Amino acid sequence: MNNLSERPLRHRPRRLRTTPAMRAMVAETSLAPRQLVLPAFVAEGLAEPRPISSMPGVVQHTMDTLRKAAVQAAGAGLAGVMLFGIPEHKDARGSGALDPDGILTQAIRAVRSEVGDDCLVMSDVCLDEFTDHGHCGVLTSTGAVDNDATVALYAEMAVLHAEAGAHVVAPSGMMDGQVGAIRDALDAAGAVDTTILAYAVKYASAFYGPFREAVDSSLTGDRKTYQQDGANVGEALREVALDVAQGADIVMVKPALAYLDVVRAVAAAVDVPVAAYNISGEYAMVEAAAAHGWISREPAIDEVLTSIRRAGADIVLSYWAQEWADRYTLRQAQGAWVPSRRHSEPPLTSPGQRAEGPEVQP
Ligand code: PBG
């Protein structure tokens, strides 16, 4: 078997790695802006965009800067923007979520009027940004998350979003039956073309940490009675099957990196497109390490996004979507191989400095 004993050596896999053109030709995985979705936050009552400290480079937008970000996203050829709204006032029932003039509904309208059909307007259908207890649904008198009452609110919320101009609604609350209820409500409202991107597989994860800051979440405790246990993959496939049966057009796995095996299993199990969400904590880890000079930032981002595609995701939601797409456009304009492996990595700097080479080396 050991062909090292063969002389001369006939099998030399390294031949396919000899030059950038060779590596590009045999690359099995690719990524393009059309497969990337940019999540974006918009907060009520801001005069200026507010930086999110645990997600360097990501902000809570004002309505005005959100519009600009959406135009940029469309210009870069991104698939879409996923909108999250942060209201000034939260209450137990998350009533801001059903306010036709609430922050998220307004944002959907504003962004749709900017981008039209050039890029998809997607909206998070969930109550956690709107509730004062921070849970994804309304609570029973004993403090449990009330599945069926919550689903009824999601259905109303989805119709509101569709009427405001969302191309895609994305229920993320992990309530049982949410997809079917939303599909029925959309159809009854005549919104038969509104697409449902279902967070079908969503694990209770520590990696959502920075997102909690991003949406000013007041959650204490955890979401383990509705989000999934990270030990389970069979359960993920059951969740996916239920969502597809209820009318999900696209199913999503989230988080991505600690669950790449789940992305792979879901992609093998369904015939609808599969999305994966490269979440806040995954972003924060790379940014923090890069800021210390411990890893080279841009190659790390390329590697993360490639890994999610390689695992089987057709669509990737990432806070790096805009940056990556801009770099992609630049690389193409310069005739470099995409994704770039043409140039050697910029050297790591000493700790404390950011390892930042020129965007694309000449
Ligand atoms: C719920 C929602 C969450 C995220 C997206 N939608 C938070 C949660 O379930 O706790 C997390 C996204 C991220 O961490 O980047 N509305």
CA angle 20, 24, 28 (to 5 degrees): 145
Residue numbers of the domain that contains 113 = 33-329
* Each residue's pLDDT tens digit, 151-181: 999 999 999 999 999 999 999 999 999 999 9
DSSP characters for 211-273? HHHHTT----S--TTTSBPTT-SHHHHHHHHHHHHTT-SEEEEESSGGGHHHHHHHHHH-SS-
C-alpha of residue 208 to centroid of ligand 1, in Å = 6
Q: What is the largest CA-CA distance in the chain?
A: 78
Residue 22 maps to a domain: no
Under 8 Å CB-to-CB from 352, ≥6 apart: which residues? 292, 293
Catalytically annotated residues? 202, 254
Residue 304 maps to which CATH number?
3.20.20.70
Q: DSSP code of 102?
A: S
User: Going along the chain, which residue ranges are E strands?
Assistant: 36-43, 50-51, 59-61, 80-86, 120-125, 168-171, 195-202, 250-254, 274-278, 315-318
Comparing 355 with 17, the larger pLDDT belongs to: 17
Residue 26 lies in a domain: no
Atom of ligand 1 nearest to the CA of 128: 16
pTM above 0.85, yes or no: yes
Single-letter amino acid, residue 220: T
DSSP 5: G
**Helix 260-269 vs helix 234-245: crossing angle, to nearest 10:** 40
In a domain, 56, yes or no: yes
**Cα–Cα dist 153/171, whole Å:** 11
- Domain assignment of residue 351, yes or no: no
- Percent share of the chain, pLDDT over 70: 91
| C-alpha 348 – ligand 1 centre gap (Å) | 32
Name the domain count of the chain: 1
211 C-beta closer than 6 A to ligand 1: yes
Residue 312 has pLDDT above 90, yes or no: yes
Residues 22-47, mean pLDDT to the nearest whole number = 97
Mean local confidence (pLDDT), 129-139: 96
Structure-token match 């456009």, residue found = 329
Q: Is residue 15 part of a domain?
A: no
- DSSP H or E run through 282: helix 280-291
Is the pLDDT confidence value at 75 over 60?
yes
Return the number of other C-beta atoms located less than 10 Å from residue 148's C-beta: 11
Q: Which two tokens stand for residue 306?
A: 């490639």
Rounding to the nearest 10 degrees, give the CA dihedral for residues 98, 102, 107, 109: 70
d(CA 360, CA 326): 11
Would residue 259 count as lying in a domain?
A: yes
